Structure 1
Amino acid sequence: MVFSPLLVAALLPIAAQAANDWSKPCFGECNWDITNGSGSGTVRLVGSQTGVSDLTTAAGWTILDCDPNTADQDIRLVCHDPAMGCDHLNQNGAAGTLVRLPTSCGSMPFAVVTREWVHEDQSIPASKLVRRDGSQPTVKGISLATDFAAVDPNVNGNVTLFVQGSSIPGVAGNFTVTPPTDGAVAKRGLFSWIGSTLKNLSEVHKNITGSAPLNFEKDVPLFDQSFSCPQNGAVPAFDGEAKVDLKGKVDGTVNYGVAAAGSIIPPKLDEFGLFVGLDATVTGTLGLDATLTGSISSGKIPLFETGIPGLDFPKILSIGPTFSVNAEATASLDANLNVDVDLAYTIAGAQLFFPPNDKPAGSFTPNDSNLKLSVSPNITSHGQIAAHLIPSLAFGIDVLSGAAKATINLDVDASAAVDLSLTAVAEAGISKDGSKSTDASFGGCVDVTTGLAVTAGADASLLSLFDKSTSVDLFNKTFDLFKKCFGSNPARRAYTGRAERAALMAKRASVGCPSGLLGKVASVVEEAIPAAKIV
């Protein structure tokens, strides 16, 4: 996918310096830097000379009364130095002009003037302003509002909006937004900068510390059902159980960057892009013990959720990320079965974009694993077991005070599956009490796979940029952990294939008591599998 020129412009790097220069008035265009402890970024507004102005000391203004925690309010102020440009505010009348505010005034960096008058309170505290000649300027009153949708763009024209941000504090000085002065000309020139711009953004994040930690570790029972099975012919009564456990662990870090372009007057988002940098190890062990037969489906089970430091450009763009972990298990059983299989992956230097580019950077590799499989050898068995450990990142997005909302989800689905088709070879090897004898043997095939799928998608439309049907596989691969056929030729031929066994097992609605003696388990395979052998 080709990224838009406006988005590319919003990410262009320059030398480390703040975009917002408090020593210069912003007439016609303004910058504002976000430098809180959880992130950094820059907002840039560009409009007409009558559409964008300044109420800071750089433009000659001194604000006397203003609540720093309120967005919409009436304030008192004076022009302490007309030579610095106070009159700029009134070029086309103050009403309808978007203004930059000092950090001590208002809860957001920009507001629109709705009314201006000579204030009835003409007092000026000495701590605020004392002129050498003893004269006193006129105290003005100004009403400020942040309902940008209520502003008529026909009065002073549109005000273009550019936003860039990073979850890493201090990054704002390493890139800036440079708005195009002519849309058609800029579009032709910016397309050639796309590759180098995105590469530079990823390099900035790669070389700066400050990523948010992702940590999770828990032993989770995904399914546990037990009941007493009555005597069935020669099969004595017994207490049966089907139990699935998952020991899961996630260790990693995440950072992200965002860029958006559109207009604040009228509120409209034209371009949006999200960058995510991810490093993580995902490990787990699927454990299954079953003396019942049938099918198991745990459904998706939420295990953990926590917030990640967000990024907030007040009433312009807010991003609130969360980290969560889910798990799921399914199984189809018709034998006494014990399974332990590891899922283990490393995600290193992953760099993912949404909407996506052609391919994500980074490596997605399996690690060393262990496999233990034991099954009762006296019966023919067709079984399937699968488990999923799914760490997820969700980025909640609010644009222009709710003009558009969406959540972008990034799911990392680590899975392990056992596909088993075994045929009894030596019935004589099983004693009456169901214990195995030394000559018990198996025939058939065992196929153990692990998989890793990284998927990005949205759960709601974000204007015309993408909709809730937008979903893409950023990485999807299945690895063969262990695959082996053994025993007699008839037993090998009994390996019917996944489709046939899936159809057979689909007929089972739930777990229940077996119809015959399952026998005690005998080991089929126990093997430590190095990552080098996993393909």
Structure 2
Amino acid sequence: MLPLLTLAVAPLLVRAANDWNVACVGNCSYDLPAKSKSSGTVRISGGSHAVSDLTHAGGWTILGCDTVSQAQDIRVLCSTSRCEHLFEGHGAVDTVVRLSESCSSAPFARVASVSVDSNQTIPSNLAATIVSGSSNYTGTVFLVSVDTDFSKANASVTGPITFSLQGVNFPNATAAAPTRRSFGKRNWTSFNDTSTQALSPIVVDDTFPLYSASISCDDMSASISTEFDLDVNMTVALGVTAAGTVIPPEFTEFALFTELDGKVKGSLDLDVSAHGKFTVDSKTLWSTSIGGIDIPGIFSLGPEFAVVGSLDADITSKLKTKLDLSYKAENAVIAIPSSADVGGFSPAEQGLSVSIVPHLTAVGTLTPHLVPTLKLSLSAFSFVDASAYIDLDASAGLSLNLTADADVAATATTKSTTKTATAAAGASATAAATGCVAADAGLSVNVGVKGSLFDLLKESDSDTLWSGDWSLLDQCWDGETGTITSRSRRTDWEPVWIGRRDNSTALSCPTSTELLADVEPIIEEIVDAFEGVNGTTISVR
């Protein structure tokens, strides 16, 4: 387990922390605008002349600037004596200044240089606003060159300038930001109803092909076709809290929080009429960007939600099966760096159905994975990039060795409680069936990091935070006696890993003894052969 961070960051996200009528002198706050789709506050603090103000409150009138560029020349008029603060102490260069919302996308910038503008012309209506006689600078027009490259600042001159930031990915948050202390109490998203209702759920209701291929055989075709039916309704709340220094740029404390609410229902449909071994590894079935948190020039969090499917199968049969990989999340809170205090996941009611053609033996194994993934791109100070992910890996394992003299079907349904899952299974056949069917399902919650964020997040920071598995079905049929037996299976959730074989595919035709009248010709040829994808190849043995 990764080490826990203890964040001593004061609770923020209370509106109006940034007062545009009061000049920043040594310290300053900035709130994301109320019209933003997210809420966030950043505070900076340094020596009395290390932090200043390039707004009207600081004695400046903006004559010209770009509303987006973080590196630019801003043309400003010193209109009151308050503007002198920028030049005091170590001087203007490397001072961190607050910018007006009409200049730059960044709330703060470093002063790279200052010069008196060769053009001292100002609009006539502004001339009357100048408070003259109180300063040598009043009435003077300057060109102030700014950027967000805080690493260029001379920290030995400015001294350290600290920051703390908090943010959530929904608007109008008026409660404290998450901290490790509140995370332990599961109350970090205890915002007012207006805030939480602003989050739109992620909704997916569609069918996605996973793999399809066929080969020609004597007097028939042999094929494999598989797809996922998805029904997803999930709300994703995000929060971040961090602290460090702007000069020099460094994060010393960092934590990212996610709260998941909703359901993931996925059903794998498989139709096989060939002898086949195939692997489809990590195919993205669906993805979308969701709202993040962005304080330009300081920190940015860009999330993407994707649903990834994979399958490992080795089947010798004419087989149809439908296997559910479904679960629900109820206020499931996950932190990066990770914490042992993770819960809120449970299996939803799940089902399994298996049917085989009479007179054939269905033998094989099947291991599907359905993995909703939250991908998080992180950037800090415009030059540090990292990414993190949260995987909700639902998996299943099906093993069967079953022979039927007529149509046979096996079904199972699993209903969950808080910590256990119980299975009720049944079978029906118009004639005797002999053999066994066993199926397990599981879920693991995994987090990981790519890149680094000032050594607070590292490539090695990956964990399985939670895992459990449960039995769907384990039954055997005796064709001679007509009895059905259930073998003892574990029902308590336990850690599980269902391994995958190498990424390869090989299909072959049934043998001549299997070409019975019961085996119907396959109607549809290949829909999507995945040629060249994931190294998949098709060959005849």
CA shift in 2, pair 1:292/1:260, >3 Å: same
Counterpart of 2:59 in structure 1: which amino acid?
G
What residue number does 1:218 align with? Answer: 206
CA distance in 1 between partners of 2:120 and 2:437 (Å): 88
Q: CA deviation at 1:2?
A: 5.7
Whichever residue aligns with residue 196 of structure 1, its letter is S
Q: In the alignment, is residue 196 of structure 1 matched against residue 182 of structure 2? A: yes
**Residues 293, 408 of structure 1: CA spacing in aligned structure 2 closer, same or farther, 3 A cutoff?**
same
CA shift, 1:397, in A, is 0.7
Q: Against the structure 1 CA distance between its residues 205 and 282, is the aligned structure 2 distance closer, same or farther, given a 3 Å change threshold?
A: farther
Instruction: Give the distance between the partners of 1:220 and 1:118, measured in 2 at CA.
Output: 63
Aligned to 2:534: none
The answer to whether the 8 A contact 1:159-1:264 is kept is yes
Amino acid at match of 2:453: L
Q: Cα offset for 1:123?
A: 3.1
Considering only aligned residues, what root-mean-square deviation do their CA atoms show, in Å? 3.4
Change over 3 Å in CA distance of 1:391–1:138 after alignment to 2:
same
State yes or no: 1:288 paired with 2:270. yes
Partner of residue 450, structure 1: 441
Aligned pairs (5 A) from 1:59-458: 59-82=58-81, 84=82, 86-87=84-85, 89-128=87-126, 130-131=128-129, 137-146=138-147, 147-171=149-173, 173-175=174-176, 194-196=180-182, 199=185, 200-204=187-191, 208-230=196-218, 237-361=219-343, 363-376=344-357, 378=359, 381-402=362-383, 404-422=384-402, 440-458=431-449
Aligned 8 A contact 1:290 1:338 in 2: yes
The CA distance in 1 between the partners of 2:381 and 2:17, in whole Å, is 21
Q: Secondary structure at the match of 1:203?
A: coil
Structure 1 residue 9, shift from structure 2 partner: 0.8
1:511 matched residue in structure 2: 507
Q: Deviations over 1:463-510 (max 9, x none)?
A: 3112223211122211212221231799999x9x9xxxx99x99x962
Q: What is the CA-CA distance between 1:31 and the residue it aligns to?
A: 0.9
What is the distance in 2 between the residues matched to 1:372 and 1:465?
Answer: 47
Q: What amino acid maps onto 1:175 in structure 2?
A: A
Structure 1 contact 226–239 (Cα < 8 Å) conserved: yes
Taking the aligned partners of 2:480 and 2:8, their CA distance within structure 1 comes to 62
- Residues 380-434 of structure 1: CA distance to partner in whole angstroms, max 9, x if unpaired? 54311232222211111111112x211111112223332113367x7xx79xxxx
What's the counterpart of residue 50 of structure 1? 49
Q: CA deviation at 1:238?
A: 3.2
In the alignment, the residues of structure 2 paired with residue 132 and residue 79 of structure 1 have an alpha-carbon distance, to the nearest angstrom, of 8
1:276 CA displacement: 0.9
Can you list the C-alpha shifts for 1:132-172, whole angstroms capped at 9, x where unaligned? 9887933141422212111111111121122211101112x
**Residues 238 and 32 from structure 1, CA distance in 2 versus in 1: closer, same or farther, beyond 3 angstroms?**
same
Query: Are positions 1:462 and 2:453 aligned together?
Result: yes
Q: 1:273 to 1:489 in 2, by over 3 A?
A: farther
Indicate if the aligned counterparts of 1:378 and 1:518 stay in contact, CA closer than 8 A.
Answer: no
The alpha-carbon deviation at position 355 of structure 1 amounts to 0.7
Bigger drift between 264-273 and 117-126 goes to 117-126
Whether the 8 Å CA contact 1:117–1:141 is kept in 2: the answer is yes
Task: Assess, with a 3 A threshold, how the Cα gap between structure 1 residues 33 and 440 changes in structure 2: closer, same or farther.
Answer: same
2:460 aligned with 1:479: no
Q: Is the 8 A contact 2:12 2:166 kept in 1?
A: no
Aligned-partner Cα distance in 2 for 1:297–1:144: 57
Change beyond 3 A, Cα 1:354–1:251: same
Q: What SS class does the counterpart of residue 386 from structure 1 fall into?
A: strand
Q: So what's the TM-score if we normalise by structure 1?
A: 0.80
CA offsets per residue over residues 277-330 of structure 1, 9 Å max, x none? 111311122222222113122222222222112322112111111111221122
Structure-2 separation of matches of 1:223 and 1:176: 44
Structure 1: gaps spanning 5 or more residues: 178-192, 231-236, 431-437, 522-535
Residue 522 of structure 2 corresponds to: none
| Counterpart Cα distance in 2 of 1:174 and 1:67 | 33
- Distance in 1, matches of 2:505 and 2:68, equals 59
* Structure 2, unaligned runs of 5 or more: 408-428, 490-497, 520-541
Partner SS, residue 326 of structure 1: strand
Q: 1:90 to 1:509 in 2, by over 3 A?
A: closer
* AA partner of residue 385 (structure 2): K
The one-letter code sitting in structure 2 at the alignment partner of 1:72 is A
Q: What secondary structure does 1:511 align onto? A: strand
Q: C-alpha distance in 1, partners of 2:112/2:220?
A: 81
Partner of 2:100, secondary structure, is coil
* Whole-angstrom distance in 1 between the partners of 2:152 and 2:447: 35
Retained in 2: the 8 A contact 1:383–1:420?
yes
How far 1:131 sits from its partner (Å)?
4.3
User: Which residue in the other structure is 2:17 paired with?
Assistant: 19
Q: Which amino acid aligns with 1:291?
A: S
Structure 1 residue 45: deviation in Å?
1.0
Distance (Å, rounded) in 2 between the aligned partners of 1:170 and 1:335: 58
| Higher percent of residues as helix | 1
